[in-house]
Amino acid sequence: MNWDWHYSGQVIPDLLDGLRVTIIATIFGYLIALVLGLVWALLRRSPSRVLNQAVRWVTEFIRSTPLLVQLFFIFYVLPAWGVTLGALTAGIVGLGVHYSTYTAEVYRAGIDDVPRGQWEASRALNLPRRRVWFAVILPQAVRRIIPTLGNYLIALFKDTPFLLGITVVELLGSAYDAGAHSLKYLEPITVAGLFFIAVSVVSSLALRRLEHRYATN
Q: What is the mean pLDDT of residues 42-66?
A: 91
Least confident of 72-81, 119-128, 170-179, 208-217: 208-217
DSSP label at residue 85 = -
What does the pLDDT look like over 118-127, one tens digit per residue?
Answer: 777 877 777 7
pTM of the predicted model as reported, rounded to 2 decimal places: 0.91
Sketch the domain layout of the chain as residue ranges: 5-214
**41 contact partners, CB below 8 Å, separation of at least 6:** 104, 105, 107, 108, 111
Please give the class, per CATH, of domain 5-214.
Answer: mainly alpha
What does the pLDDT look like over 178-196, one tens digit per residue?
Answer: 999 999 999 999 999 999 9
Q: Measured between alpha carbons, how far is residue 187 from residues 2, 18, 87, 201 in Å? A: 10, 15, 27, 21
